[in-house]
Amino acid sequence: MQQIRLLICCLILAAGAVCSSTPPPPESVNIGVVLSFGSIIGKVSKIAIQAAVADVNSDPTVLPRTKLLASLHDTNFSGFLGIIEVLRLMETQTVAVIGPQSSVTAHVLSFIANELRVPMLSFSATDPTLNSLQFPFFVMTSQSDLYQMAAVADIVEHYGWREVIAIYGDDDHGRNGISALGDQLAARRCRISFKAPLGTKATREEITDVLVQAAMGESRILVVHVPDYWGPMVFAVARYLGMMNPGYVWIATNWFSTILETELDLAPEALEDVQGVLTLRMHTPDSELKAEFVNRWANLTGGAMGLSAYGLYAYDTVWIMARALDAFFAQGGNISFSEDSRFDYVFFMPARCLI
C-alpha cells in the first residue's frame, strides 16, 4: 500500500489570484470545512481540523503574518446539504474547501469545482474513480480505496482462495470500490462469485435477505465494504444466521477499523458479534509529529473517543493547505476575488505533515 509521506496540495486560486512585486500578505484567509459532525469520521475530523488550525496560527514559521480562518459546516448525514454547503462556500471569499466527506457527494461537486475553479481537498472521499485527470480541482489527501482493495486481493491470493462474495453499499463509493476489488482479484486469477448490494439505508430485514442469498453460494469468503453507520448490523445478522461460525471468512474494509479505533466503549455484545473478523486500516507511518499529536489527543477529546487514521489525515490536510498558501505568499502572491476565470494560477507545495 502506498505510504504518504510528502503530500502535495494543488492550490488553485480561482477567483482572481494575481502577483505583484511586493504585496503584503492578507491579515487572514478563509477555508471552508464540510463534514457530518455526528458521524464516526466527522466527530474525530472536526476536532483534528480545529487543532490543526490552532497549531498553524501558533506556529511562527507558517503564515507568520496571516491568520488561517476555518468555517465549519455540518451536513447532518445529508448528501444534499453537503452539496448546498459547499456551493455556498464557493460563492464566498473562500480559497479552498476541505470536504466533502463522502465520495458520492464528491462526485457531484467535483464537476462544479472544475467549472468554478475552487479546489476541494478531501481526506475521506476515497473512491478510486475520483482521479486528478478528470477532476483536477479535487485533491485526495488520503489513500484511495484502490490500495486497500489490492490488499484484500493479496490476502485472498495468499490463502489460496479463488472466489469471494462482495457485500457493499449500493452507491458510487461501494460500487466503484468493489469494481476495483474485482480488477485486483482478476489480476491474481481470482474473482467475485456473487455481488450483494445493499441500499444506503439498509434495514435489518434487507441485510438478512442478502446474507441468506450469500449463504446459498459456494464461497465462504465474504468481503464487506459498507457505510460505517449500519455496517455492524451486517455482523449482528450474520451471527444470528450462524454465518460467523468456523468455515466462514469475513474481511471488512477500513470502515470497520475506523469504528474500532474511534468507539472506546463498544458494547460487549457488539464485540462478540465481530470476533474473527479481519479488517484493514490505512497505514500512517510513525513520526515524532504523529506521536506528539497522538499524546495530545486525550486532552483534546477528554478521553471520549479514539483517534482514527482519518483524524490524522484531516489534521495533515489543514497543514497541506497552510504550507501551500505560505509558499504562495512568500513568492509575492496576492489574493483577490473575481468572477473572471482568466485569472487562474496553479501552485504546488510539498508539506511536512504528521504522516
Q: What is the pLDDT of residue 41?
A: 96
Contact 48, 308 (CB under 8 A): no
- Could you read off the pLDDT of 298-307 as tens digits, one per residue? 999 988 999 9
All cell numbers assigned to 41: 469520521
- Could you read off the pLDDT of 102-135 as tens digits, one per residue? 998 998 888 888 887 888 999 999 999 987 778 8
Q: What is the pTM of this model?
A: 0.88
pLDDT band at 151 (very low <50, low <70, confident <90, very high): very high
- Could you read off the pLDDT of 45-85 as tens digits, one per residue? 999 999 999 999 999 999 999 999 999 999 887 878 888 88
Helices (H), the chain: 40-58, 79-90, 103-116, 145-158, 172-186, 204-215, 231-240, 254-262, 268-273, 288-301, 309-330
Q: Side chain identity at 233, as an amino acid letter?
A: M
Q: What is the pLDDT of residue 135?
A: 85
Phi–psi pair at 140, nearest 5 degrees: -85, 115
Q: What is the pLDDT of residue 6?
A: 32
